[in-house]
Structure 1
C-alpha cells in the first residue's frame, strides 16, 4: 500500500479517494501517437476535403524548349506544388492533349486528379481532349473522364508554323 498512508481515510474533509481512471482508447481508425496520420475512412475523408478546399490551380506556360504551346497546370497546397498536369491546347484545331499527370502520393485517391481535369475542361471550353498517357495509374481516370488515349501526340500545324 505504498502511498496510501498520506491519504485521508475519512470523508469529513472531502470526498473519498477514488482510483485513477485509465485514459480513453484512441478513436477508431487512429493508431499510434496523437498526431499520427489517420487511416481508414476518417483519414480518406479528411484528405478529400483538403483536396477540394485548400488546393489552388495555377496555369503556367512552359518555355519553348519543351515544345510550342506546352502548358502546365500546377496544383498548389500552402505554397507547395502537390500535382502537375502538362498539356497542349490549340484553339484553332479545337484539340487538347494531356501529356503528363503527376499527383503527390498523399493526394491520390482523393479526387484531385478528377478535379484538375475538370478544371482544364472548364478553362478551355470547346476543346476535345485526348491523352498520350498509358500508365496503369491514369488509365481508369481517363476512362472515367471520357478522354481517349492516343499512341502519340497528334501533329498540329498551328503549333509548328512553317519555317520561312
Structure 2
C-alpha cells in the first residue's frame, strides 16, 4: 500500500468517497442542540437587560426584560415591606425566549434584589407553572392577601 503526500489512509469500512469518521456531519457534532436554541440562551444571559420599571401603585412593581431597546418580557409583582412578602402576579416572556433560561434569570434577579422577602404567586398558567415550580415559588392560598396593599 502506498500513500501520497496529503492523503490520509482510509479506515476500515470506508471508501475513498466517504471516510468513516465524516459520515454523519462530523464526529463531534452535537445532534440534539439546535443553533437557534443555543443562540437564544446566549442572548438571554449576555444581552437582555433587567430594568426595574417605575411603580404603578402602592406595592405594584414591574421588572422589564429588555433586548436592545425592545421589551421581550416582564415580571409583575406586588411587594409589601411590612409583611416581607411579595406576590408574582404576571410573567410574560416572548415565545422565542422560552426555554432560554430568561425566566429563571429574572426571578433569581428579584430574589437577589429583595433579600429576606418570601415569594408567592397567583399564577396557574401552563406557560409559567414549570418555571415557578422549578424556582420553588408556591401558590398563594385563595383569599389570602396582604392587609397593607389596597385593591
Give the TM-score band, short-chain normalised. 0.7 to 0.9
Which of 109, 114, 118 is matched with 1:119 structurally? 109
> CA distance change for structure 1 residues 86 and 128 in 2, over 3 Å: closer, same or farther?
same
* Deviation (angstroms), 1:60: 1.5
CA RMSD, 1 decimal:
1.8
* Deviation (angstroms), 1:149: 1.2
Q: What is the TM-score normalised by the length of structure 1?
A: 0.68
* Deviation (angstroms), 1:153: 6.8
| Alignment gaps of 5+ in structure 1 | 1-27, 29-39
Counterpart of 2:110 in 1: which secondary structure?
A: helix
> CA distance change for structure 1 residues 153 and 42 in 2, over 3 Å: closer, same or farther?
farther
Which of 28, 38, 49 is matched with 2:42 structurally? 49
Q: What is the TM-score normalised by the length of structure 2?
A: 0.73
The answer to whether structure 1 residue 150 and structure 2 residue 140 are counterparts is: yes
Instruction: Tell me the distance in 2 between the aligned counterparts of 1:126 and 1:150.
Output: 18
Instruction: Tell me the distance in 1 between the aligned counterparts of 2:93 and 2:105.
Output: 12
Q: Which has the higher contact order (CA 8 A, sep 6+)?
A: 2
Instruction: Tell me the distance in 2 between the aligned counterparts of 1:50 and 1:155.
Output: 37
**Shift >4 Å, 4+ stretches:** none
| Alignment gaps of 5+ in structure 2 | 1-24, 26-32
> CA distance change for structure 1 residues 78 and 152 in 2, over 3 Å: closer, same or farther?
farther
Larger radius of gyration: 1
- 1:57-106 deviation per Cα after TM superposition (whole angstroms, max 9, x unaligned): 11123323xxx211100000000000010001112101010000000111
Q: What count of residue pairs does the alignment treat as equivalent? A: 120
> CA distance change for structure 1 residues 53 and 141 in 2, over 3 Å: closer, same or farther?
same
